[in-house]
Amino acid sequence: MSKEFAEPRNASLTASTSSGTQVNPDTAAICQTAENKEVKKKTRTYFNFYEEWAKLLEKGDAYFGDSSTDENSKDSGESTTSMAVKQQQEEEPKATPVHGQNSVGANLLNSQKKNSAKNTFATPQSKLSKPLDEDKENEDKKNVELKIKDFFKQITVIDKTYIILNVLGKGGSSTVYDCFNPQTKTACAIKCVSLNCDKEQEKSFINEVKTLVKLQGCHRIIKLYAYQILTDKKRLFVVLEKGGKDLAIILRELVNSSTHMPLYMVIYYWMEMLYAVKEIHDRGVIHSDLKPANFLEVNGRIKLIDFGIASSVQSDMTSVIKNVSLGTFSYISPEALSNDSSTNDDSPNYGKQKFKISFKSDVWSLGCILYQLIYRKTPFQHIVQPLQKFVAISNPDHKINYPPVDWVPERIIKTMQDCLQYDMRSRPSVDDLISQYEAIYK
């Protein structure tokens, strides 16, 4: 058994109560992290293996002690201790439960008193004072550990082993696993990335880790626990905080619902998104790919994830220049699609693509998400052809439709219109938006 599975001697995974034996809260908490029946089954099996090992420690010399038999037990192979216990159970009358104690507890109490008088087996205190058969103990530990390894796949990151419970998602070059840390008894998400990809993708994966390191300490940014780059194997492992549903799942459920989202929930998600984006803007980071799937629920709070194409802005600047257009089509800003390359033949940048991105580009994306919260679709979702959608988003003369909605205040419609202005300089900042709504809803 590895050190990560080690527990103090006499440890138990169950707790005795007046109503019987219950699963330890640690066990129940971990089992609740499983999101489907198969994962729950695997999680429960892990704890059965773990409990088997823990019980071996609890039994002490009653399990590992003298195995010699008396004349009456030689044929059956039962130990003197086992026979004494069996005889005692046959002779002993049932105990009457006392107040606050169940019958199991009463019988156990009487059993311990009689055994102490007869000296037929060691009490727990004396049992712990005797040395264990270390070879036998180690062998049983090893067997339990092998069972765990056979049943579960594992990931090791910087000498820590995590148990894989499920697959949370897959991308082109990466897979995200739902994992369990047996040392801390906590859940986490591990992103496993193959760096056998083109240079731009590899740069994106490395950029995400660097940006997350910069943003640690922010309360509304996903936590980065550890990461490891294996250059020889071209692999990257990122250990992250595990959350619940992302906003994309919530919006899909909304589409299938016969009723709209309650107004207070719209305001809640809107303010949570604003607070999260404010944290990165205050630290000079433009996300560039804000969309519902990148807002994750974690312990009742919305946190921001996926910083693959994020950019850091110099302290004396308000925008950055990119040589490629990146983002998710339904939420990308017009400036992220508008090539601003030089037309001067003498310029070294002549003919090279240039896209100017600012903090206000994230505001456009937020406006698209707010639009989706209200209308259950994005502003350009009705345009099916990609080229036509590209033209519509890039065209400042295109008119976005805002149908009247009886349950939505006019101020929210006005907020969408402000965020979805083609001139990014006319859009409000995230700080402006927060101030407007905090003044109303305090």
Summarised one tens digit per residue, pLDDT across range 377-389 is 999 999 999 999 9
For residue 415, pLDDT beyond 90? yes
Q: Which residues are annotated as a binding site?
A: 191
When pLDDT is cut at 50, 70 and 90, the band that residue 439 belongs to is confident
Mean pLDDT of 230-248: 94
Say which range, 121-135, 194-208, 368-382, has the weakest mean pLDDT: 121-135
pLDDT of the residue at 101: 43
**CA-CA-CA-CA torsion sign (114, 120, 126, 128):** negative
For residue 97, pLDDT beyond 60? no
Give me the domains of the chain, ranges plus CATH numbers: 3-148 (no CATH), 153-240 (3.30.200.20), 247-441 (1.10.510.10)
Q: Which residues are annotated as a binding site for ATP?
A: 191
Q: What is the mean pLDDT of the chain?
A: 76
pLDDT of the residue at 442: 63
Both tokens assigned to 33: 């992290």
Say which range, 189-198, 201-210, 318-327, has the weakest mean pLDDT: 318-327
7-11, 37-41, 306-310, 353-357 — most confident range: 306-310
For residue 131, pLDDT beyond 50? yes
Mean pLDDT of 343-349: 57
pLDDT of the residue at 250: 92
pLDDT of the residue at 129: 46
Instruction: Please give the residue that has the higher pLDDT: either 34 or 362.
Output: 362
Mean pLDDT of 288-301: 94
1-10, 78-87, 143-152, 291-300 — most confident range: 291-300
Rounded to whole angstroms, how far apart are CA atoms 241 and 246? 13
pLDDT of the residue at 249: 94
When pLDDT is cut at 50, 70 and 90, the band that residue 221 belongs to is very high
pLDDT of the residue at 408: 95
For residue 257, pLDDT beyond 90? no
Rounded to whole angstroms, how far apart are CA atoms 10 and 128? 8
pLDDT of the residue at 315: 76
Q: Hey, which residues are catalytic here? A: 289
Residue 95: Cβ-neighbour burial (10 angstroms; 0-12, 13-18, 19+): middle
pLDDT of the residue at 12: 34
Instruction: Please give the residue that has the higher pLDDT: either 415 or 134.
Output: 415
Say which range, 14-28, 123-137, 386-400, has the weakest mean pLDDT: 14-28
Mean pLDDT of 132-156: 70
